[in-house]
């Protein structure tokens, strides 16, 4: 056998062994692994031998072999270890107390985590764009005096070009618009919401393109799909290069999937799944609209150059308006401005365009509730451990006698609270994780728990803060006890008792406030959903129609929708389960009905909403007439000239005069005549008062007379009817059947009006749900605290109870003695809660034009509720105590 | 007595230490176990077991003299203590006692 050259084991592994291994074991261990290596190197390939050597070194990396640093052996470390050991023993000894503490902090923590996730999501809207700090959305205000004011955040089409040409600081502009197109071919076309954006959309906004042409994804015939939509249309996210047909206007255009993007995150205002480029503008907009400055369509976003200031750009905007709109507006009538992208989601000062705007107040209210619940949970610990101080006094005394410093004692008690919080936080985190789906379902949110660095650090930060804050007061109370009085057996100081009682009052106050607050919210929501809106809405169903593909111009499209409606109506009429059929171009539960504006004969600018219907509208919805008559299906004149107005419009246009037979006070309206007045019915949201409404079968005369026009929801007619069958599935199958035979090329979409109305108050009901959850949790936490206190009081008074029983006190007397301990605090908390609740809930209610009163009932119910909960909690333990055999309490001394 | 329980692997190591006397050190014990039982055990496991046995007082150890192999590093030699020997005796006699009580039935051979 050839003598191989000497091969030594890997140096680094050897050094690693020397690094970690204890001096006393190093020689034998190193010797053994080297011996093994030498034995192996002669029989095995060197690579294998080396690998085995490394493996052996790693296997020796055990706790018992490790060097223990001398530096770690300092007094602080030893004392900390000892503190935690003592803390763990104390906590283990008082199991009930510990369980109550951990339980309440854990529940509070879970609630806090969930709510803060929701709040974080709301606050983080569109904050992830790399160039986000330089992106702005344009807004415009037109003011022509006499009430003719318009304020909007969507913008005219020529604006983007004008900005690029006139303002040097503008690096890029992006127009974002949405429209519905039929997507697909043949039978299975789907009506999809398509985003129409400038080709540089993906350069300005940060959305990840996973597959395909990421450099230039938006060519003229390109479409970008989200992963979800790639899946929907092609069954996999491997859709790049495939073809998709969109019907735009009356053309069938073939698009190619150029890229697939990651599904948009929840916290962005763009919710796009299908994106096409607007490079070929004429395809999407009429030539007139492309030039029009007073026709608003897309949202225009502006990316400023780096280091450019918004102020300097905004200062140049009036100059730009003078250049491009010199002939059309007077100075100051048309004002442009920029709103930061990150500001859009929670700023209600600007009107909403396509990007959704949330109510910042709700976010802050929820954040506060989450924090309060956590604070309540912490208070439990503080009150309970302060209460325990008498028990621990002897321990403190002995520690002081053998020389403990105050600082050391504080640290000892802080380690107890830290230990508790750490356990509670872990439990709470687990709870939050488990409850997340339930929370999402109840609150109608879609949040997830993201695990990243910042969250972990945040979490640790919360644990530390909560641990120290909760433990600080009890620690100082305990360490401040006077040595002599402690050893003589005196009671705890008066100050601590007062502090404990105030904490308890505060805690009960919060609970009562949350109970009454969520009751007020609930009753307001019930009111919103059940109040008489002035029309019949039970079991009312509506079906969206489509205009014929060849219809151009809004009025033609609406009219062709009405023609389709007649076909569908005649088929639906044959079903016995369908009653009260009619057609209208707007439905309840959608905001943004057609609004028209005109200048009346005195030059005053007037606005009203317009609803186009068939002759059966009022009768089908059971809308009451207060004067005149309803449309008559037999009368030709009703189809062309007659209009019906609501009371609000009657008061607005004619004051107290009778409007019957009259015309609207404008100059340019076509022939029309008011034939009836209907009682106000609430066609918008209950946030606002009923505004003037005109109902007509023929839109032309009205549109002719209007100088201003706005629509924010689809004006294409819908067929509605009352469904009297029993099963909801029945509607679906019935409609599917009829629809397939009538409009095989279009997608069926229908809704229940009830359901749509509920969705209108989604924000409110979400807050209400979350507040409701928080209330239940706060009741739980408060009950935990109360239970802990009862146990403590009973333990302190065990002798008193024993003696009383021996002398013949019945259970009830003892129970009421214990109740008296807490009822003062509860009554105080209740009284304080009344003005606070009253004030805060009235603030909230003032958001609604129609609202309930914060009545006496709310306070009565919440008072009774909180008192009975307290009674139950206290009795749970007190009854047991008062029934126990007094001998047990008295024989030990 | 807490801590003096003899596990199966420990017993094996202890037996090997006894059998190898006076040449029982880590690698030797490992090789012997491999040869006798076919069990391949990592050297670190042997060290752990030996150290445990040492703590329980079943073996004692001392460093040997300098060697020529393994880079001149010394070996730690182990030998049985009388307590260790007694533990092995006990285990053996317990085993025999129970073994002898197995009734002399044939196991399905007729």
Q: If you average pLDDT over residues A61-75, what whole number do you get? A: 72
Q: What is the pLDDT of residues A564-620, one digit of tens each?
A: 888 888 888 888 888 888 888 888 877 778 888 888 888 788 888 888 888 888 888
**Which of A418, A496, A511 has the alpha carbon at shortest distance from A460?**
A418
Q: What is the pLDDT of residue A627?
A: 86
Structure tokens at A195: 């985003």
Structure tokens at A261: 């993007």
Partners of A610 in the beta sheet? A694
Q: If you average pLDDT over residues A165-194, what whole number do you get? A: 82
Backbone φ/ψ region at A603: left (φ over 0), alpha (ψ -120 to 50), beta: left
Residue A3 has pLDDT above 60, yes or no: no
Q: Which of A37-51, A149-163, A430-444, A765-779 has the highest mean predicted lDDT (pLDDT)?
A: A37-51
Picking from B45, B47, B70, the nearest residue to A35 by CB comes out as B70
Backbone φ/ψ region at A580: left (φ over 0), alpha (ψ -120 to 50), beta: left
Q: If you average pLDDT over residues A814-843, what whole number do you get? A: 86
Structure tokens at A707: 């100088």
Contact yes or no for A206/A130 (Cβ under 8 A): yes
Test A64 with B75 for CB contact under 8 angstroms: no
- Residue to test with chain A: of B34, B43, B78, most A Cβ within 10 A: B43
Q: What is the pLDDT of residue A618?
A: 86
A45 contact partners, CB below 8 Å, separation of at least 6: none
Residue A893 has pLDDT above 60, yes or no: no
Q: What is the pLDDT of residue A1?
A: 39
> Exposed e or buried b for every residue in A5-21, given b needs 16+ CB within 10 A?
eeeebeeebbebbeeeb
Residue B1 has pLDDT above 50, yes or no: no
Q: Which residues of A touch B75 (CB under 8 A)?
A: 28, 31-32
Closest-CA residue of A relative to B72 is A31
Residue A779 has pLDDT above 80, yes or no: yes
Band (pLDDT 50/70/90 cuts) for residue B33 is: very high
Distances (CA, A) of A506 to A24, A369, A416, A780, A831: 61, 14, 24, 15, 12
Test B26 with A28 for CB contact under 8 angstroms: yes
Q: Which residues of B touch A56 (CB under 8 A)?
A: 42-44
Q: What is the pLDDT of residue A550?
A: 66
Average of per-residue pLDDT values in chain A: 82
Q: If you average pLDDT over residues A323-340, what whole number do you get? A: 79
Domain carrying residue B39 = 8-100
Q: What is the pLDDT of residue B108?
A: 62
Domain boundaries, chain A: 11-65, 132-343, 360-528+762-890, 540-723
Q: What is the pLDDT of residues B43-74, one digit of tens each?
A: 999 999 999 899 888 999 988 887 777 878 88
Test B70 with A38 for CB contact under 8 angstroms: yes
Test B43 with A31 for CB contact under 8 angstroms: no
Residue A242 has pLDDT above 80, yes or no: yes
Neighbours of B66 (CB within 10 A): 9
Picking from B26, B48, B51, the nearest residue to A32 by CB comes out as B26
Q: How far apart are CA A426 and CA A405, in angstroms?
A: 32
**Phi and psi angles of residue A182, each rounded to the nearest 5 degrees, phi first:** -85, 130
Picking from A28, A33, A56, the nearest residue to B75 by CB comes out as A28
Rounded to two decimals, the pTM is 0.68
**Which pairing describes strands A693-696 and A605-612: parallel, antiparallel, or unpaired?**
parallel
Reduced to 3 DSSP states, what percent helix, strand and coil does chain B have, rounded to the nearest 5? 55, 10, 35
Test A28 with B63 for CB contact under 8 angstroms: yes
Please report which helix (H) or strand (E) contains residue A584, including its range: strand A578-584
Kindly give the interhelix angle for A811-845 and A856-883, rounded to the nearest 10 degrees.
Answer: 150
Q: What is the pLDDT of residue A72?
A: 57
Cα A538 versus chain centre, distance: 29
Long-range contacts of A294-297 (CB under 8 A, 24+ apart): A294/A142, A294/A156, A295/A156, A295/A157, A296/A140, A296/A152, A296/A154, A296/A155, A296/A156, A297/A154, A297/A155, A297/A156, A297/A157, A297/A177
Q: What is the pLDDT of residues A680-690, one digit of tens each?
A: 888 877 777 88
Band (pLDDT 50/70/90 cuts) for residue B4 is: low
Does residue B50 sit at the A interface (CB-CB below 8 Å)?
Answer: no
**Which pairing describes strands A540-544 and A274-277: parallel, antiparallel, or unpaired?**
unpaired
CATH number at residue B22: 1.10.10.10
Q: What is the pLDDT of residues A281-328, one digit of tens each?
A: 888 887 777 777 776 678 889 898 888 888 888 888 888 888 887 777
A145 contact partners, CB below 8 Å, separation of at least 6: none
Q: What is the pLDDT of residues A452-467, one digit of tens each?
A: 777 788 888 888 888 8
Query: Shortest Cα distance from B82 to chain A (angstroms)?
Result: 24
Does residue B69 sit at the A interface (CB-CB below 8 Å)?
Answer: yes
Q: What is the pLDDT of residues A349-374, one digit of tens each?
A: 887 777 888 778 778 888 888 888 88
DSSP assignment of A126-189 equals T---TTGGGEEEEEEEEE-STT-EEEESS-BTTHHHHHHHH-TTEEEEEEEEEEEEEESSGGG-
Test B71 with A34 for CB contact under 8 angstroms: yes
Residue B105 domain flag: no
Residue B1 domain flag: no
Count of domains observed in chain B: 1
Does residue A299 sit at the B interface (CB-CB below 8 Å)?
Answer: no
Residue B109 domain flag: no
Q: How far apart are CA A677 and CA A647, in angstroms?
A: 6
Tell which wins on pLDDT, A677 or A874: A677
Q: What is the pLDDT of residue A145?
A: 67
Q: What is the pLDDT of residues A491-548, one digit of tens each?
A: 555 566 787 788 888 888 888 888 888 888 888 877 877 777 778 878 888 888 877 7
Q: How far apart are CA A379 and CA A470, in angstroms?
A: 7
């Amino acid at each position: 056998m050839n003598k191989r050259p000497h091969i030594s084991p890997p140096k680094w592994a050897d050094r690693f062994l020397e690094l970690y291994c204890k001096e006393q074991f190093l020689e034998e261990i190193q010797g053994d692994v080297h011996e093994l290596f030498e034995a192996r190197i002669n029989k095995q390939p060197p690579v294998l031998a080396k690998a085995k050597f490394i493996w052996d070194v790693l296997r020796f990396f055990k706790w018992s072999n490790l060097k223990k640093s001398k530096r770690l052996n300092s007094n602080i470390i030893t004392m900390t270890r000892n503190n935690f050991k003592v803390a763990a023993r104390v906590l283990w000894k008082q199991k009930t107390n510990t369980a109550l503490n951990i339980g309440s902090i854990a529940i509070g923590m879970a609630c806090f985590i969930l709510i803060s996730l929701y709040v974080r999501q709301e606050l983080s809207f569109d904050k992830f764009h790399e160039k986000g700090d330089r992106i702005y959305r344009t807004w415009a205000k037109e003011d022509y005096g006499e009430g003719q004011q318009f304020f909007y955040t969507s913008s005219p089409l020529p604006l983007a070009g004008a900005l690029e040409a006139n303002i040097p600081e503008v690096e890029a502009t992006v127009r974002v618009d949405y429209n519905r197109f039929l997507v697909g071919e043949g039978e299975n076309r789907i009506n999809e919401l398509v985003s129409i954006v400038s080709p540089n959309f993906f350069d300005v906004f940060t959305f990840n393109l996973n597959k395909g042409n990421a450099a230039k994804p938006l060519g003229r015939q390109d479409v970008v799909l989200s992963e979800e939509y790639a899946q929907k249309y092609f069954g996999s996210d491997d859709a790049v290069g495939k073809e998709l047909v969109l019907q735009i206007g009356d053309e069938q255009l073939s698009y190619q999937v150029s890229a697939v993007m990651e599904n948009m995150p929840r916290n962005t205002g763009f919710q796009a799944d299908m994106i096409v480029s607007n490079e070929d503008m004429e395809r999407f907009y009429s030539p007139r609209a492309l030039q029009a400055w007073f026709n608003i369509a897309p949202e225009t976003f502006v990316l400023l150059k780096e280091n450019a200031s918004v102020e300097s750009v905004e200062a140049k905007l009036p100059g730009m308006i003078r250049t491009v709109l010199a002939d059309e507006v007077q100075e100051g009538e048309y004002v442009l401005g920029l709103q930061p992208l990150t500001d859009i989601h929670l700023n209600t000062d600007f009107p909403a365009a396509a990007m959704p705007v949330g109510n910042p107040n709700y976010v802050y209210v929820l954040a506060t509730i989450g924090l309060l619940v956590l604070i309540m949970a912490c208070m439990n610990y503080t009150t309970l451990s302060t209460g325990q101080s008498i028990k621990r006094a002897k321990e403190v005394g002995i520690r002081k006698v053998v020389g403990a410093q105050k600082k050391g004692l504080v640290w000892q008690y802080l380690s107890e609270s830290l230990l508790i919080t750490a356990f509670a936080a872990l439990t709470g985190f687990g709870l939050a994780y488990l409850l997340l789906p339930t929370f999402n379902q109840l609150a109608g949110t879609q949040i997830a728990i993201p695990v990243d660095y910042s969250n972990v650090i945040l979490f640790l930060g919360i644990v530390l803060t909560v641990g120290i804050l909760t433990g600080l007061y009890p620690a100082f109370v305990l360490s401040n006890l006077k040595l002599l009085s402690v050893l003589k057996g005196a009671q705890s100081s008066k100050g601590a008792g007062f502090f404990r009682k105030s904490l308890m009052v505060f805690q009960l106050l919060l609970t009562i406030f949350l109970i009454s607050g969520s009751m007020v919210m609930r009753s307001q929501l019930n009111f919103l959903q059940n109040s008489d809106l002035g029309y019949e809405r039970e079991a009312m169903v509506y079906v969206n129609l489509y205009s014929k593909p060849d219809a151009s111009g809004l009025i033609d499209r609406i009219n062709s929708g009405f023609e389709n409606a007649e076909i569908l109506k005649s088929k639906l009429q044959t079903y016995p389960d369908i009653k009260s059929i009619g057609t209208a171009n707007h439905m309840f539960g959608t905001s943004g009905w057609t609004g028209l504006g005109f200048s009346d004969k005195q030059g005053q600018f007037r606005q009203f909403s317009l609803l186009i219907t068939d002759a059966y509208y009022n009768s089908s919805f059971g809308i009451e007439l207060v004067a005149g008559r309803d449309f008559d299906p037999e009368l030709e004149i009703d189809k062309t000239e007659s209009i019906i107005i609501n009371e609000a419009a009657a008061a607005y246009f004619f004051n107290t005069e009778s409007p019957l037979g009259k015309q609207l006070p404008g100059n340019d309206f076509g022939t029309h005549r008011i034939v009836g007045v209907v009682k106000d019915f609430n066609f918008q949201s209950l946030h606002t008062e009923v505004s003037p409404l005109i109902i007509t079968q023929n839109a032309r005369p009205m549109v002719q007379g209007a100088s201003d026009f706005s629509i924010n929801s689809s004006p294409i007619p819908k067929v509605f009817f009352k469904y009297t069958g029993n099963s909801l599935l029945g509607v679906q199958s019935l409609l599917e059947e009829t629809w397939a035979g009538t409009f095989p090329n279009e997608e069926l979409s229908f809704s229940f009006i009830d359901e749509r109305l509920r969705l209108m108050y989604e924000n409110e009901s979400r807050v209400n749900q979350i507040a409701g959850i928080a209330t239940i949790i706060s009741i739980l936490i408060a009950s935990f605290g109360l239970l802990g206190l009862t146990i403590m009081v009973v333990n302190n008074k065990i002798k008193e109870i024993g003696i009383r029983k021996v002398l013949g006190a019945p259970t009830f007397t003892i129970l009421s003695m214990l109740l008296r301990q807490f009822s003062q605090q509860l009554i105080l908390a209740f009284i304080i809660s009344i003005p606070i609740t009253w004030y805060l809930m009235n603030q909230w209610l003032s958001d609604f034009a129609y609202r309930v009163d914060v009545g006496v009932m709310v306070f009565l119910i919440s008072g009774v509720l909180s008192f009975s909960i307290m009674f139950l909690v206290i009795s749970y333990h007190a009854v047991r105590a008062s029934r126990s055999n007094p001998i047990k309490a008295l024989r030990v001394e | 007595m807490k801590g003096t329980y003899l596990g199966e692997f420990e017993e094996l190591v202890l037996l090997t230490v006894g059998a190898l006397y006076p040449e029982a050190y880590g690698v030797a014990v490992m090789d012997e176990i491999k040869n006798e039982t076919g069990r391949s055990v990592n050297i670190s496991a042997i060290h752990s077991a030996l150290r445990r046995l040492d703590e329980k007082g079943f073996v004692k150890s001392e460093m040997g003299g300098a060697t020529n192999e393994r880079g001149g590093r010394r070996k730690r030699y182990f030998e049985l203590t009388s307590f260790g020997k007694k533990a092995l005796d006990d285990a053996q006699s317990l085993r025999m006692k129970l073994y002898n009580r197995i009734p002399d039935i044939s196991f399905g051979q007729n």
